[in-house]
Each structure stands twice: as C-alpha cells, then as structure tokens.
Amino acid sequence: MTLAAHEVRWSAAGRLIVDGVSLEAAPGRILGLIGPNGSGKSSLLRLLCRLRNVASGVVKLDGRDIAGVPRRALAQRLAFVEQQATTEMQLSVCDVVRLGRTPHRAALASWNGADEAAVSAALERVGLSERHDQPWHTLSGGERQRVHIARALAQEPSELILDEPTNHLDIQHQLSILALIRRLGVTCIVALHDLNLAALFCDEIALLHGGRLQAAGTPEAVLTEETIRAVFGVAVSIRPGASGRPHIEYLVATDRPAEEGA
C-alpha cells in the first residue's frame, strides 16, 4: 500500500467539505476521483498531500501519518499538479521543470548532475525536450499542463496527485495528457470530470458526492446506471465500449420543438 486516507474530514467556513472519506491508492495504478462540482474532489486531493490539514481522520504514506512527515520529505515522495497554475514571472520551460528539484536541494546547494538528469528525463517523458528554452507564456494550455507534469516528475515522486489535469483542454489534448499519465508507471490519484475518460484511463474509481464516498472499485463496479442517476441526476445507458471499458451514453431529449409552419 502507498497512500491511504482513513475517515478524513475537513471543513471550510463552517461547512463540511470532506466528510469521512476512506480510500487507498494501489501501487503503480491509477485511481480516478469523480463526482459533481463541489463534491469535495479538489479538497480531498489537497488533504492527501497535506496542502490542507485534516480536521479528523488520518492520511498515511506507507503506513506513516503524513501529519508527522516534514514538508520537504513529503515533497520528495508526493507531487501535486494543480488545475491551471500559471505565473506572471518570465520563466522558460526548463525553469519551471527545475522547480521540481526544490525538495531535493539544500538551501545553498548548487545545481548538480543528478538534478540536470532528472529535468532532462522528465522533459523527455512528456515529449517536450525540444521546448527546453521556450518561454512559459508562449505555451498552449495542453503544453503548460505537460510542463507541470514534467515538473512533478522531476520531483521523482512515487505518488502523483493531479487535480483535473484535462480541464479546459480540447479533446485531443485531454486524451494525450491522460495517455501520458497512464504511461508513467507512477501511482496516480487523478480528479476527472469526464466519466467516459475516467472509465477509459483509470484502474480504480472513487465516486464522491457531497463530501462523502459513494462508491469505490473498478470502473465497471462504480459506473452503474443507478449510481450515476442518483449522484449526477442524469439518465444514462452503459455498455462496454470498443476498448472493453464501460461507455456511458447520456439519455436526454435532444428534439427541438417543431417550428411554426415547418
């Protein structure tokens, strides 16, 4: 086991956002976190990497409570990719990826061969080696997300946490980001909006609703017509798709009212 949450709770402004969630990420596999807007996905991810502190419950990394792990040691294990982090600083692609070496370097240590190798390897894995010196603000949304993933990989984490990495990307870039994540071989916990993409790319899925865990397990077990109707309030029909994974079709009336005189 790697990263596991047990009965974690967290509230903000007097409202319970995450309400007693327990889940576990299996080593080397991809755990998808799905749920409607405001279901607590982002907050749960932030609790898992201690960007917020749990109000009760415990998050364990290899059986050790992360509340007692120094911030820097934690960052050597866990990397976090935000939804759409951007900057006004004039940075190049490699400047951003180099930030991933922060937890591995002492305050006054100079840049060394191991750091450089990690940065090159990370850029190679996301397919941006050629963009090494390109200014950050000239990149497209999909490229920026790739650079963030490269920055996270430069941390050499054993667990990677991603908060809706495909948000605001066109479908081609959504697919390529998720295919990239699948190829990494790192334990991933990823929040996703699109149910079909979650079914296609995740090994396990956890479904959140109102801060509570509604279901967890394989995509087939979690994505059922009843659960989706209950949680998302939409009628669906689910069949195995061409990939063998469940494919969700939304059942909605799409007829337009007949126009006068038509």
Partner 1 sequence: MSHAAHGPNWPARIGLALLAFVALAVSVTLAVTIGEMAIPFEVALRALGNGLFDLGLPVSAIQQGVIFDYRLSRALMAGLCGGALALSGAILQALLRNPLAEPYILGISAGASTGAVAVLILGVGIGGTALSLSAGAFVGSCAALAVVALLSAGAGGASDRVILAGVAASQLFNAATATIVTTLASAEQARGVMFWLLGNFGGVRWPDLWMATPVALIGFAICMLHAKALDAFAFGADAAASLGVAVTRVRVVLFATTAVMTAAMVSIVGTIGFVGLVIPHAARFLVGSGHARLLPACLVTGAVFMILADILSRVLIPQQILPIGVVTALVGAPAFALILYRARNPA
Considering the rule CB under 8 A, would residue 137 count as an interface residue with partner 1?
Answer: yes
CA dihedral sign of residues 10, 15, 20, 23: negative
Q: What φ, ψ does residue 233 adopt, rounded to 5°? A: 70, 25
| Least distance from partner 1 to the Cβ atom of residue 111, Å | 6
Considering the rule CB under 8 A, would residue 74 count as an interface residue with partner 1?
Answer: yes
Q: What are the start-end ranges of the E strands in the chain? A: 3-12, 15-24, 30-34, 56-61, 64-65, 78-81, 159-163, 187-191, 204-209, 212-217, 236-240, 246-250
Among 46, 131, 173, 209, binds partner 1 (CB under 8 A): 46
Number of residues that bind partner 1 (CB under 8 A): 41
Separation of alpha carbons 7 and 212, rounded Å? 10
Among 11, 92, 129, 224, binds partner 1 (CB under 8 A): 92
Contact 250, 229 (CB under 8 A): no
Separation of alpha carbons 177 and 169, rounded Å? 9
The answer for residues whose C-beta is within 8 angstroms of residue 74's C-beta and 6 or more apart is 49, 50, 61, 66
Separation of alpha carbons 96 and 259, rounded Å? 55
| Least distance from partner 1 to the Cβ atom of residue 167, Å | 16
Query: Coil, strand or helix: which one is 231?
Result: helix
Considering the rule CB under 8 A, would residue 121 count as an interface residue with partner 1?
Answer: no
Which tokens is 84 given? 């759409």
Alpha helix ranges (H) inside 105-193:
113-125, 141-154, 171-184
Considering the rule CB under 8 A, would residue 100 count as an interface residue with partner 1?
Answer: yes
The answer for residues whose C-beta is within 8 angstroms of residue 140's C-beta and 6 or more apart is 173
Q: Closer to partner 1 at the Cβ: 187 or 196?
A: 187
Among 6, 9, 60, 132, binds partner 1 (CB under 8 A): 132
Q: Closer to partner 1 at the Cβ: 67 or 235?
A: 67
Considering the rule CB under 8 A, would residue 129 count as an interface residue with partner 1?
Answer: no
97 sits in which H/E element: helix 93-98
| Least distance from partner 1 to the Cβ atom of residue 115, Å | 8
Among 62, 64, 67, 86, binds partner 1 (CB under 8 A): 86
Among 64, 72, 168, 183, binds partner 1 (CB under 8 A): 72
| Least distance from partner 1 to the Cβ atom of residue 184, Å | 17
Considering the rule CB under 8 A, would residue 13 count as an interface residue with partner 1?
Answer: no
Among 4, 6, 24, 76, binds partner 1 (CB under 8 A): 76
Query: Please, which of residues 192-251 interact with partner 1 by CB under 8 A?
Result: none
Residues that bind partner 1 in the complex, under the rule CB under 8 A: 46, 49-51, 71-76, 78-80, 82, 85-92, 94-96, 99-100, 102-103, 105, 107-108, 110-112, 116, 132-133, 137-138, 155
